[in-house]
Structure 1
Amino acid sequence: MTTPIPAASQLAVNVLDAHSLLAAFGVLGVGVVMFVETGLLVGFFLPGDSLLFTAGLLCTGTAERNVHLSLGPLLAAAAVGALAGAQCGYLLGRKAGTTLLARSRSQRLHEGMKRAEELLQRYGHAKAIVLARFVPVVRTVLNPMAGALEVPVRTFTVWQAVGGLVWSMGLTLAGYALGSSIPNVDRYLLPLVALIVVVSLLPLLAEVLRSRRAARPERGDG
């Protein structure tokens, strides 16, 4: 028989710690965090990357933790939360425009807004929507910005689905694969999470380098 989690322990959850969230709420928590982080501006601080990776790791049963998740339901919850959240953020942006972003006093959120706007202008809608999924804060802000800038609904929906599935399922499966191949891998969880954050920025860095290389011949011609 499963022992219910005391209400007090749920109230003491550290929302910035992936393992604390998973221990308290399990698979359901993953879906909710994905939705809030990608759909509501208040979720920009949530640990999306590390949560997905850690959740995948805990599906293997090799970690020395008291939490074990099932891979199938986890993948479904992560995908649904990420896709529904992004679409919700887009719809909020369509209705409220830039008002929601302008009212925020968070410097970090405003920096993310500038980066999101740069992505949309530099790479176009499709690339920007996909790349934003891999950049913390930017993946929160870009969805309402895309709505406010009236990115076509079909374009946004298709590419947010592509980026959302690659991001949510890719990181989860990466954690699962690593946990399955390395015994007691949770001992190295902190450096692994840091590595995941760095790797998540690689697509954006690659696009920046590519655009700079493409700009050099144009400057030379000018």
Structure 2
Amino acid sequence: MSPEDLSTEVMREYGYWALGVLMLVVAPEALMPFVGFLAHQGMLGFWPSVLAGTAGGTAGSLIIYAVVRRAGEARVRAWMVRRGHWLLLHESDLDRILRLFARRGRWFVALGRLLPSIRSLVNIPAGLLPMPLAPFLWLTLLGTLGWNLVLTLAGYCLGAQWSLLEPYLGFYGTLVIVLLVLLAGIFTVRRLLRRSLGGR
């Protein structure tokens, strides 16, 4: 069974709850366009799918926000010092993200949801400073809703053309994976070199 068939069966069996749960841990770019395609095929409703994905993504952000807020900056910094190297993160990364948040706080929370590289990091300074829960929740909801709507609409509009692209998806999917691995390798090597040279 292909991943698409498996996803379809899961959605049919458990409905929109499954989508919401998946969005706790899955990047929207990896799921919502396909969900839009399923909506075009009549297997899912468009707006229920967008709302379920948004609920799941927002819940995931709230979990990180709550954990960081309860832990406090001292514990987060201690974790970065002891365990951050496993994720190639340094205490200086935390300092940079806190400075950026201090300058662009509310915009950073909303617009950061559109940037895959910093989406999860947005929750850390919001929990540490801390940003009040109500504006964090609404801005997270707004940004997540907007991004999920764009991704789902893209898959929906692709619709009937999806099958025409299937012969090429394997090649281009492989190409994208290779490029991502290459970029990750470059990032990793640079971080390891900086560590070996005593840099931050």
From 110, 113, 137, give the equivalent of 1:157: 137
Residues 52-131 of structure 1 mapped to structure 2, 5 A cutoff: 52-61=32-41, 68-98=43-73, 99=75, 102=80, 103-107=83-87, 114=94, 116-117=97-98, 119-121=100-102, 124-131=104-111
Residues 109, 141 of structure 1: 8 Å contact kept: no
Q: Letter of the aligned partner of 1:86 in structure 2? A: S
Alpha carbons 2:50, 2:145 under 8 Å: kept: no
**In 1, Cα distance between equivalents of 2:23 and 2:113:** 11
Distance 1:57 1:134, change over 3 A: same
Match of 1:32 in 2: 21
Q: Look up the equivalent residue of 1:25 and give its one-letter code.
A: V
Cα distance in 2 for partners of 1:173, 1:137 equals 22
CA contact (8 A) 1:179 1:185 kept: no
Tell me, which stretches of 5 or more residues in structure 2 are unaligned?
A: 177-200
Change (3 A) 1:88 1:132: same
CA drift of 1:24 comes to 5.5
Q: Give me the CA root mean square deviation.
A: 3.5
Contact 1:82 1:168 in 2 (8 A): no
Aligned AA (2:10): F
CA deviations 1:111-132 (Å, max 9, x no partner) are: 9x657446424x5112211222
Among residues 171, 175, 183, which one is paired with 2:151 in the alignment? 171
TM-superposed CA distance for 1:89, in Å, is: 2.0
What is the CA distance between 1:78 and its match in structure 2?
0.5
The one-character-per-residue Cα deviations of 1:172-220 (angstroms, maximum 9, x if unpaired) are 122112225x35255154648x6xxxxxxxxxxxxxxxxxxxxxxxxxx
CA distance in 1, matches of 2:140, 2:153: 19
Q: Identify the range of structure 1 (125-134 vs 149-158) with the bigger mean alpha-carbon deviation.
A: 149-158
State the identity as a percent. Answer: 29
Change (3 A) 1:93 1:178: same
TM-score (norm 1): 0.58
- C-alpha distance 72-117 of structure 1, shift in aligned 2 (>3 A): same
